[in-house]
């Protein structure tokens, strides 16, 4: 039976009309009639159009109701995301645009299917996606889909910056920075109150001090991090740093320095002749039986850098007693480096207690040395402070000193954990040259803020640049930040 006969017979049957055998000839004549055939063709065409219309509308309905998520943005941070229509299964789009992006500082590039820009305001935005799919007429109105876009506030803007109390007896500047010659090198240093402190109007607990002693040619740099839990630690860090400067001012006399110079030059010659490691001078605390040049230098480091540390401790004890406070309220870490240039290169001697690292990088940045170990983790057993008397009686006291001889260095750095925690993350990274080079690259501008420090002795803006760089954002790291760089 032909298609037309089958269709009409089913249509008649659905309407209660049965084609009996005696009506067969009549039915054949009816289905052969030109008018009936024309009506059948119209029906077939309408059915085809109806199916096409259903398929088209179903595509549009799927796009409107299927989930489409656009990544969140952040105010002030460069935003770019590609809308992968193929992955969404929307392969037959012939037109696409977004309405409402401009309200938050973004725009859509239909050629690259990319939303980009720098969000200007935070909030939840209702974005309209207007589109057309293949098969729709040119004059058909655009279809509309609503999409949510969340722009988060700049995390920095959520922190308050409340001035500290200038009437406090231990008040000091919230943010300081300096740039000075230091012997034949230069030092740039900045110390900045952490966001956690600024948010509640508390004080900067970090501190630093430095000095070049013209009569002896030695330079010293000290950095300290007052304990956040100690009420007067801001004063403790200040006292400790200043006492380092005062100690060597009083005790590193020209006579003593000259004696040390002779030992260092002699040791350098001996070390070269013997091709031995000249960087490890202190093998044990006071059990030195053979008075070699090496041992004499080790004794100098142990006695004088150790006495400097003990002097800082005593100064803090005296201050606590004079002001009727517990010395624990002055808890502070302390690191310092004493260095001098000789004909053969530089000698650097260090001391450290607490969790603040000292690192030195050679001239071409192919090698480095971590000059101290940190009082963190299992080895250190937790943070230690220069205010703790047990520091000086511990058998680990002798390991708190560092010594190195180096032809020249590009950077000698002392920092508090506000820098180290954010930029090195874990202690083990301090042992990796690539991490120090990444840190230097970061300082020079390879960072999200494109904030750069230009290490040029003629750069009068360098202290300001370092202070600005220290505003970097690091989730969870909002402590005071102090960084001293000798270059």
Picking from 482, 423, 485, 483, the residue whose alpha carbon sits closest to that of residue 456 is 485
Q: Can you list the residues of the chain whose pLDDT is less than 50?
A: 278, 282-290, 378-381
Q: How far apart are CA 278 and CA 281, in angstroms?
A: 7
Round to whole Å and give the CA distance between 331 and 231: 9
pTM: 0.78
Ordered strands of the 79-82 beta sheet:
79-82, 114-117, 106-109
pLDDT of residue 270: 81
Q: Write the CB contacts of 112 (distance below 8 Å, at least 6 apart in sequence).
A: 82
For residue 275, what are the contacts with CB-CB under 8 A and spacing of at least 6?
none
> Quick one: which of 315, 314, 279 has its CA closest to 297?
279
Q: How many residues does the chain have?
A: 487
Contacts (Cβ under 8 Å, ≥6 apart) of 169: none
Place of tokens 């398929």: 55
Q: What is the pLDDT of residue 448?
A: 87
Q: How many CB atoms lie within 10 A of CB 244?
A: 29
The pLDDT, as a whole number, for residue 252 is 95
Burial class of 30 by CB neighbour count within 10 A (0 to 12, 13 to 18, 19+): middle
**Contact between 224 and 242 (Cβ < 8 Å):** no
What does each C-alpha distance from 249 to 7, 211, 220, 308, 484 come to in angstroms? Answer: 112, 9, 10, 11, 20
User: CA 414 → CA 147, 273, 332, 358, 401, distances in Å?
Assistant: 50, 33, 15, 5, 14
- Residue with the two structure tokens 């330079």: 219
Residue that the structure tokens 């004059």 belong to? 139
For residue 471, give the nearest of 449, 455, 456, 486 by alpha carbon. Answer: 449
Tokens 């202290």 sit on residue: 463
| Buried/exposed 352-378: b ≥16 CB within 10 Å, e otherwise | bbbbbbbbbbbeeeeebbbbbbbbbee
Handedness of CA 439, 443, 447, 449 (dihedral sign): positive
> Which two tokens mark 239?
């006292």
| SS3 sequence of the chain | CCHHHHHHHHHHHHCCCCCCHHHHHHHHHHHCCHHHHHHHHHHHHHHHHHHHHHHHHHHHHHHHHCCCCCCCEECCCCEEEECCHHHHCCCCEEEEEEECHHHHCEEEECCCCEEEECCCCCEEEEEEEEEEECCCCCCCCCEEEEEEEEEECCHHHHCCCCCCCCCCCCCCCCEEEEEEEECCEEEEEEEECCHHHHCCCCCCCEEEEEEEECCCCEEEEEEEEECCCCCCHHHHHHHHHHHHHHHHHHHCCHHHHHHHHHHHHHHHHHHHHHCCCCCCCCCCCCCCCCCCHHHHHHHHHHHHHHHHHHHHHHHHHHHHHHCCCCHHHHCECEEEEEEEEECCEEEEEEEEECCCCEEEEECCCCCEEECCCCCCHHHHCCCCCCCCHHHHCCCCHHHHEEEEEECCEEEEEEECHHHHHHHCCCHHHHHCHHHHHHHHHHHCCCCCCCCCCCCCCCCCCHHHHHHHHCCCCCCCCCCCEEEEEEC
326-348 pLDDT, tens digit per residue, is 999 999 999 999 999 999 999 99
C-beta separation of 474 from 448 below 8 A: no
Q: Pairing mode, if any, of strands 218-225 and 334-342?
A: antiparallel
């Amino acid at each position: 039976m032909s298609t037309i006969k089958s269709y009409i017979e089913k249509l008649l049957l659905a309407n209660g009309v049965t084609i009996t055998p005696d009506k067969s000839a009549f039915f054949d004549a009816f289905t052969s009639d030109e008018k009936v055939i024309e009506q059948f063709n119209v029906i077939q065409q309408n059915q085809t159009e109806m199916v096409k219309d259903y398929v088209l509308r179903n595509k549009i309905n799927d796009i409107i109701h299927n989930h489409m998520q656009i990544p969140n943005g952040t105010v002030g941070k460069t935003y770019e995301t590609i809308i992968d229509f193929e992955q969404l299964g929307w392969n037959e789009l012939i037109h696409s645009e977004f309405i409402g992006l401009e309200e938050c500082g973004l725009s859509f590039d239909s050629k690259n299917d990319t939303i980009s820009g720098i969000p200007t305001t935070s909030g939840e935005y209702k974005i309209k996606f207007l589109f057309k799919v293949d098969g729709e007429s040119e004059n058909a109105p655009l279809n509309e889909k609503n999409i949510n876009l969340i722009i988060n506030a700049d995390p920095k803007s959520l922190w308050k910056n409340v001035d500290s109390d200038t009437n406090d007896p231990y008040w000091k500047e919230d943010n300081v920075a300096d740039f000075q010659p230091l012997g034949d090198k230069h030092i740039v240093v900045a110390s900045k109150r952490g966001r956690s402190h600024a948010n509640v109007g508390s004080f900067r607990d970090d501190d630093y001090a430095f000095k070049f002693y013209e009569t002896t040619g030695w330079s010293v740099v000290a950095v300290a991090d007052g304990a956040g839990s100690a009420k007067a630690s801001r004063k403790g860090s200040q006292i400790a740093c200043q006492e380092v400067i005062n100690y060597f001012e009083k005790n590193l006399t020209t006579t003593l320095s000259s004696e040390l110079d002779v030992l260092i030059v002699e040791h350098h010659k001996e070390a070269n002749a013997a091709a031995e490691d000249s960087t490890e001078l202190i093998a044990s605390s006071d059990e030195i039986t053979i008075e070699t040049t090496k041992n004499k230098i080790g004794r100098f480091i142990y006695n004088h850098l150790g006495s400097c540390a003990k002097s800082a401790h005593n100064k803090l004890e005296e201050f606590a007693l004079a002001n009727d406070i517990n010395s624990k309220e002055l808890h502070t870490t302390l690191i310092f480096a004493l260095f001098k240039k000789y004909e053969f290169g530089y000698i650097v001697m260090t001391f450290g207690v607490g969790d603040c690292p000292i690192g030195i990088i050679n001239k071409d940045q192919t090698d480095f040395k971590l000059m101290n170990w940190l009082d963190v983790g299992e080895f250190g057993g937790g943070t230690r402070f220069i205010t703790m008397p047990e520091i000086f009686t511990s058998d680990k006291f002798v390991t708190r000193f560092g010594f190195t001889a180096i032809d020249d260095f590009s950077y000698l750095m002392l920092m508090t954990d506000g820098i180290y925690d954010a930029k090195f993350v874990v202690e083990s990274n301090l042992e990796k040259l690539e991490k120090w080079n990444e840190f230097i690259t970061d300082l020079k501008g390879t960072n999200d803020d494109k904030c750069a420090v230009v290490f040029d002795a003629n750069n009068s803006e360098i202290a300001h640049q370092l202070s600005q760089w220290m505003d970097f954002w690091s989730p969870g790291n909002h402590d005071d930040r102090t960084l001293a760089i000798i270059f």
